A and B are shown apart, each in its own frame.
Chain A
Amino acid sequence: MSAAAVPLWAALPAALLLVCGGLLTLIGSLGLLRFETFYARLHAPTLGTTLGAGCVLLASILVSSVLAQRPVLHEVLITVCLVMTSPITTMLLMRAALFRSQD
């Protein structure tokens, strides 16, 4: 049980970031479920991919740095990976949708 050892000054922003990340991801997925056309649906989950994942990764960096008593920054690797790969997927899907709607 490691979450018990986190002091209050680190637990409060981490909790805030986790709640924000969860809500943003949920809103993005609800947009994916509710919107009408594919082009409207394409941009809804990017809310969870960028801002939601960023919030959760910041909370993870904060908690693991406090627990290890030194800066732990290897979660930045996931952030860089997501920031680089998520627009490529979206762009390929958009081009596929444009291509398939032609014929």
Chain B
Amino acid sequence: MNVILSWAIDFALLCFSLAMLCALVRLLRGPTPQDRVLAVDTLYISGMLTVLTLGIRFGSMIYFDIALLMALFGFVSSAALAKFLLRGEVIEP
């Protein structure tokens, strides 16, 4: 039974690594700036899911705090970048 769970955790970690690799290729190759911001968005979501899966694996509550901080700061950075692309300024006077 524990073999099933640890196998699933390994499989999920592999999937998240491949997803982060795809997002990294799009980040380096993206033709427009919007593509790069979208790739950063996908990248931090995949990283947050990786941290959550590691939290299941090691059974520690610290990983939950790290994942929550990653979600919050990732949203702030993506929203600021999108706002910069939209307006040319992040905080308008």
Q: Interface on A for B, CB 8 Å cutoff?
A: 2-4, 6-8, 11-12, 14-16, 18-19, 21-23, 25-26, 28-30, 32-33, 38, 41-42, 45, 48-49, 52-53, 56-57, 59-60, 63-64, 67, 74-75, 77-78, 81-82, 85-86, 88-89, 92-93, 95-97, 99-100
User: In the complex, which of the residues B26, B57, B78 contacts A33, with contact meaning CB atoms closer than 8 Å?
Assistant: B26
Contacts A18-B8, A23-B15 given; 13 further ones with Cβ under 8 A?
Answer: A12-B4, A15-B8, A18-B9, A25-B45, A56-B52, A60-B55, A63-B59, A74-B64, A81-B75, A88-B79, A93-B78, A95-B86, A99-B85
User: In the complex, which of the residues B4, B18, B42, B71 contacts A11, with contact meaning CB atoms closer than 8 Å?
Assistant: B4
With contacts defined as CB atoms under 8 Å apart, how many contacts are there between chain A and chain B in the complex? Answer: 176
